[in-house]
Chain A
C-alpha cells in the first residue's frame, strides 16, 4: 500500500493485484452484517478448537452424577447418562462445522461443473443430459432420501458415519446451484467478452475457469454458504432422528439423546438448549455472511457507512445537520 496526496486527503492506494477475488473479500469485510457473521463463526471455531486440546472432563465418561443443573464444577451440568455437557459441547462442534463447510465446498464444486458445462453446451445433448440429472436431484428431497437410506441401513444395524453423511449431503445439495449457474452462464454466453474468447481460440475449459467463474464469484460464494447451511441442517436432522452413528459425540447426537431422555419435558434445559443454540448460531453466521455477499454483488443493497461520511464531511467543513437533509431520497 502506498501513500499519496490526492485531492483533499492523504489516501492509501489499494493495489488491486488480485482482481475479483480480492474485491469480493474486501467488499464482504466492509459490510457490517457479514463481519458480525464472521466474528460469530470465528468465535465458534475457536471454541471448538479449544475442545481439541482441552476439555474439563472426558466427554465420553459417564462417571458423573446424573441430571445435575449447571454449577461451577459442571458449567453446563450433566445429562441422563452422567456425561459432562460442557465437555461434550466443546468437542461436538468440529464434526458439525466440518461437515457443513465440506458439504458447501463439494456441493458447490459439483454445481459449478454441472451447471457451467450445461450452460456452455446449451441446447445440445450434453446440456439435456446434465439438465435432466439436475432436475432429478432438484425434485428429490435429499434429506428424506438420506433418512430413508439411513432407516433401511439402521434396520440392519449399519449406522451412517461422517464420511457417508458428507457424501450423501453433497450429492444431494448441489442441484439448485447448478440450475442457477446454468442460467447465469446462459446469460453470459452471448456476452461479447465470452464470444471474443471463443474467436481468439480459448478452450471451453479455460473460459469456464478463467472467465465465467471469476465473473460469478459472488454467486458462487453465496452458493457455498447456502449449501453449507444445508449441510449443517442435514447433519442435524440425520443425528436427531438417530440415523447416525450414536457412539459419536457431536451436537447432533447430543440433541438425539436429549430427545430420547425427554429432556424438554423434564426441564433439563442445559442438555438440549446449548447444542441447539450452537447449531443455530453456526447457521446464522453463514446466513449473515451471505447477506454481506448479496450486498457486494448488488451494490444497490449496500449499506453506506454513515459515520465514515460524517467524518469526511467534517473535514470539508460541512455541518452534520445540513448533510442529513441531502440523503432523504
Chain B
C-alpha cells in the first residue's frame, strides 16, 4: 500500500475582501501518494494555486484558512505550525516552484549569487558547498558551469526554468510542488523540461505535485490526476482511468476540448460560459451550469463524493448515465 505524502482533509480556505469572506477552497480532501507524480488540473480561477500555497503554509492576509487540516510527510501539521518551524521544513522536506518562476529570479544577481543566497539562508556557505551546486546543475541538464556566472537575462526561458528547478531541489526535499512549470515555454522546450522532470522524479524518488491548466501535458507525465473546478476536486484517480473512461463529465470535456495533432480535423466539444465566481456560488453541483448533461437535480443538490480507492474519487451523481449522452457535448 502506497504511503501518503500529503494528506489534506476538509480544507476550507478563503480570502477576506470588502465583500466579506470569499470561500475559494470548499471542503477539499485529497491524499497525495508518495513517490509518484500527481497532476492537479484546472482552469484559471479553479483554486489550484490556492491549494498549493495552503499546503506550503503561505497563508497571509487577506487569505484565511477557515477549517481543515494538512499533514505533510505524516508528521507536519502545516496549519498549526508556527512560522519558524514552517521555514525549517520548506526546502528541506517540501519545496515549491511558483508560477512564472523563471521571472522571479533576481535580475541583478548572477545565478551563483542566487544559489549563495539560498545556501546562506540555511546557514551554509556557498564556497564550501560548490559540489552540491554543481550536482544540482548537472541533474537538471545544465552541464556548462558558465551558467553560474550569468545573469538571468542572459539565459533562455528553458535554461531559467532548469535553474529554478535546480534551486528547488538543492536541499533534497522529499516533496516538490510545481505551479505551471511549462507555461510560457514553447512546445519544444516544454517537451525537454517534461522529460527532465520525469527523469528527476525517477532518480530521486520524489513526490511531485504539478499544477497546470494544460491537461494534455499533465496526462503525459502524471501517475495520478486531480481535476479541480470552482474550488473543489471533482475527480481524482489514476491517469489511465481518467484517460480511458473518466467518471466526471468535466474531465472528459477538458480532455477532449484541447486541440491535438490527432484530433485536428475532428469536431471538438465546447465548455460554454464561465465559472460564475465564488461570490455567487452555485447551489447544487459546482459544474452544473456548464455541464451538457446536467439535470434539475444536479443544479439543486450537490453530488455525493464517491470514493472508490484510497487515491480515487469523483463527485457526480449522474455517472454512468451521462456516458450514454456524450453526443450532447458536441452540439
Contact = CB atoms under 8 A, between A and B. Distances in A.
Interface of A: 6-9, 11, 14, 304, 306, 309, 312-313, 315-316, 318, 323, 325-329
A11 B22 CA distance: 13
B121 to A, nearest CB: 15
A8 B86 contact: no
B276 interface: no
A328 B19 contact: no
B66 A318 contact: yes
B21 A304 contact: no
Interface of B: 16, 18-22, 57-62, 64-66, 79-80, 82-83, 86, 279-280
A7 B59 contact: no
B20 A328 contact: no
**Interface centre among B59, B61, B86, by most A CB within 10 Å?**
B61
Contacts of A312: 16, 20-21
Given A328-B82, A328-B83, A9 B19 contact: yes
A6 B57 contact: no
A313 B79 CA distance: 17
Contacts of A329: 57-60, 83, 86
A7 B22 contact: yes
Nearest to A13: B19
A311 to B, nearest CB: 10
Contacts of A325: 80, 82
Given A323-B64, A326-B59, A329-B60, A11 B18 contact: yes
Given A304-B61, A309-B16, A329-B58, A7 B82 contact: no
A137 B38 CA distance: 60
B61 A11 contact: no
A8 B62 contact: no
A244 to B, nearest CB: 45
Q: Which 10 A-B pairs have the closest CB atoms?
A: A9-B20, A328-B83, A304-B61, A7-B20, A8-B20, A11-B19, A327-B61, A6-B19, A326-B59, A6-B279
B58 to A, nearest CB: 6
Given A6-B20, A14-B18, 17 more contacts: A6-B279, A8-B20, A11-B19, A309-B16, A312-B21, A313-B64, A316-B66, A318-B66, A325-B80, A326-B59, A326-B65, A326-B79, A327-B61, A329-B57, A329-B58, A329-B60, A329-B86
Contacts of A327: 59-61
A315 B20 CA distance: 10
Contacts of A6: 19-20, 279-280
Contacts of B59: 326-327, 329
A323 B80 CA distance: 11
B80 A7 contact: no
Contacts of A304: 61-62
A326 B13 CA distance: 12
A324 to B, nearest CB: 11
Contacts of B61: 304, 306, 309, 327
Contacts of B62: 304
Contacts of B57: 329
Nearest to B67: A318
A306 B22 CA distance: 17
B83 A7 contact: no
22 contacts: A6-B279, A9-B20, A11-B18, A11-B19, A14-B18, A304-B61, A312-B16, A318-B66, A323-B64, A325-B80, A326-B59, A326-B64, A326-B79, A327-B59, A327-B60, A327-B61, A328-B82, A328-B83, A329-B57, A329-B59, A329-B60, A329-B86
A329 B65 CA distance: 13
B118 to A, nearest CB: 18
Contacts of A7: 19-22, 279
Contacts of B58: 329
A309 B16 CA distance: 8
A304 B16 CA distance: 11
A68 B152 CA distance: 69
A307 to B, nearest CB: 12
A6 B60 CA distance: 24
A309 B82 CA distance: 20
A152 B55 CA distance: 70
A32 to B, nearest CB: 15
Contacts of A306: 61
A261 B79 CA distance: 67
B101 to A, nearest CB: 18
